[in-house]
Chains A and B, each alone.
Chain A
Amino acid sequence: MRSSNPSIPSLSQRLYGVWYRHFKVYTSNLFSNALPPFLEPLLFLAGVGLGLSKYVTQTMEGLAYIEFLGTGLLMTSAMFTASFECTFGTFIRLEFEKVYDSMLASPLTVNNLIIGEILWAASKGFFFSFAVLCILAIFGIISLPHSLLVPFVGFITGAMFSTLALLVTSFVKTINHFNFYFTGVLSPMFFFSGVVFPVSDLPAKIRPLAELFPLTHSVRIARAVCINQYSANLLWDFLYIVIFIAVVGYFAVVRLRKRMIS
């Protein structure tokens, strides 16, 4: 007998539920969670502005060095926060806190749960690049209002790096393994994706490698948004990000499902 029409929450309610869980946890320590994203770029820019920029007098892609670096930091902050959230954060929720076990006893599927994770990491990407934006704007390094669009680039950057982080997490057996990912993958990406210096300055042989790095594409879009100059080539960068999210996200879901459902 098929009884008593179940009132299944809608897809958006389910995804919002997962997102809400993370939002609630994050904002319950608002001071210690929300201050560092503002302090970090401040420290970075102070260091560069007070010291380094005296020596770096050349422009890079038509920008003063502090502008060049600042627009790159908008994206690295999104990259790092999404990566932390979906490596250490996800792993702890999965293995230590067993948060997912109990959530999966409520009307949620594994897919809902993981897509909720991605949406949350993307939201953090939005917020973290917004924080950098505030600092850059306060110091007059970038101009408003067109730069206000840049947190949206932070959002898709967060989504992109969260899918990669989730895929990595699906392989990891002990939490220490993440160190390899951060030192071996994200640090090189920080240096060779056009954040610290232009990709065009890389040796010709290495340059195609930089194009493989997801961060390169985020940075290119973010910089275009900040200087309000768009070219058709940016569509390729955007396409790269969309495909990356779809493909890597798919494999992350498939592999994590095996860890959550026995």
Chain B
Amino acid sequence: MSDAVITVKNLNKTFGKTAAVEHLSFTVKADTCFGFLGPNGAGKTTVMKILYGKTVRDNNENCSVDVFGYDPADNELAIKSLSGVVQQEDNLDDELNVIENLTLYAKLYGLDRKTANKRIEYLLDFLELSAKSKSRIKELSGGNKRRLVIARALLNNPKLLILDEPTTGLDPQIRHLIWDKLYYLKKLGTTILLTTHYMEEAFQICDEVLIMNKGREIMCDNPQNLLKKHVEQFVLEVNSPELLIAPDKEELLKEIRIEKAEQTTRIYSNDNEKLKALAAKLEGSQYYLRQANLEDVFLRATGRRLDEKQ
């Protein structure tokens, strides 16, 4: 018996003439956190929506989508009953207050009143919203709204939690609080699928990250491997590359890689000392020497220029 919760093979989706997702395949194992990383318009949200039946995939022969053994094309209800979905927008019901929002969704999930009340009380406490239970939605801050949307997605005790940019636009405190909760849920055996722009988020909570761009997979691995395989260990960022000490060029070029963007030049190398030597003449404010992170992998993979979809 395999322990895959989601198996997607050769997924395609076109809107009119635009291909949103092309030949995408991936597998999400039970009790892990799988992250989609990609610029705006990469097709991340489309993939999420296909999984729970909000978007219908293209009808290709070799394509298959399997979530808990069900195909969203013909059994969306089974999948939605087993999953919790946090969509990108905080689409709470403005005409109801906090607790009414949760009560409504408890009904939609078919919970009886007693179970619902218990679950709501627990979730308000879990997401630190108990003090807000009677508040109107318009009175809530962005962080409160997000947490309420997450609470709503957890009402049915989902085996799979799908989160589309759960922490975008939130302050660091709330972001860390949400990460903590996601860790905890994963420990309890919830499989998590999320999309994000935050490299740190992907690095910290994902067991596996799929970087996509323009509807296609660029790379997929665990975060540590992505770093190891696709980018040098250190980066020197400078705004005025002409001030750098220029040693013997030939030899230097063997060990560094230079990326020029409009304002900033980034010099990548596995040899920290070499980068230090390069920057020796610069003052502290003129350069930034740091460890490479997932963002460098990401930008290297998806390019630094914007395309029209972003």
- Chain A positions near chain B (C-beta within 8 angstroms): 1-4, 6-10, 13-14, 16-18, 20-21, 24-25, 28, 97-99, 101-109, 261-262
Contact = CB atoms under 8 A, between A and B. Distances in A.
Contact of B80 (A25, A98, A106): A106
B89 A25 contact: no
A102 B92 contact: yes
A99 B91 contact: yes
Interface string B14-43: 010000000000000000000000000000
Interface stretch (B105-113, B227-235, B241-249): B105-113
23 contacts: A1-B2, A1-B69, A2-B69, A4-B82, A6-B68, A8-B110, A10-B110, A14-B108, A17-B107, A20-B107, A25-B96, A28-B100, A99-B91, A101-B91, A102-B91, A102-B93, A103-B108, A105-B52, A105-B80, A107-B80, A107-B109, A109-B77, A262-B55
| Top 3 A-B residue pairs of the complex, sorted by shortest distance between their CB atoms | A9-B110, A2-B69, A105-B85
A160 B137 CA distance: 34
A102 B82 contact: no
Contacts of B110: 7-10, 13-14, 107
B87 A6 contact: no
Contacts of B159: 3-4
A99 B4 CA distance: 32
A26 to B, nearest CB: 9
Given A24-B100, A109-B76, A98 B91 contact: yes
Contacts of B81: 6-9, 107
Contacts of A102: 87, 91-93, 152
B1 interface: yes
A107 B153 CA distance: 11
Contacts of B52: 105
A105 B96 CA distance: 18
Contacts of B91: 97-99, 101-102
A262 B89 contact: no
B9 interface: no
Given A106-B108, A109-B77, 11 more contacts: A1-B4, A3-B69, A10-B110, A16-B107, A20-B104, A28-B95, A28-B100, A103-B108, A104-B53, A107-B81, A261-B56
B78 interface: yes
Most chain B CB atoms below 10 A, which of A21, A99, A101: A21
A28 B104 CA distance: 14
A4 B31 CA distance: 14
A261 B76 CA distance: 12
A214 B1 CA distance: 58
A119 B109 CA distance: 19
Contacts of A8: 77-78, 81, 110
Interface residues of B, number: 41
B85 A17 contact: no
B255 interface: no
Contacts of A28: 95-96, 100
Contacts of B94: 97
A188 B275 CA distance: 81
Contacts of A25: 93, 95-96
B70 interface: yes
Nearest to A25: B95
B132 interface: no
B49 interface: yes
Given A7-B110, A262-B54, A21 B92 contact: no
Given A3-B159, A4-B68, A8-B81, A108 B95 contact: no
A9 B81 CA distance: 8
A229 B55 CA distance: 52
A3 B77 contact: no
A18 B108 CA distance: 8
Contacts of A13: 107, 110
B104 A262 contact: no
A16 B93 CA distance: 17
Given A9-B109, A21-B104, A262-B15, A99 B93 contact: yes
A108 B100 CA distance: 18
Given A6-B81, A8-B78, A261-B56, A106 B69 contact: no
A108 B78 CA distance: 10
Contacts of B54: 101, 104-105, 261-262
B96 A108 contact: no
A252 to B, nearest CB: 19
A28 B134 CA distance: 13
Contact of A97 (B85, B93, B152): B93
Given A8-B81, A98-B89, A101-B87, A106 B68 contact: no
Nearest to A106: B108
Contacts of A3: 5, 68-69, 82, 159
Interface string B100-125: 10001101111000000000000000
A106 B93 contact: no
Nearest to B80: A107
Contacts of B70: 2
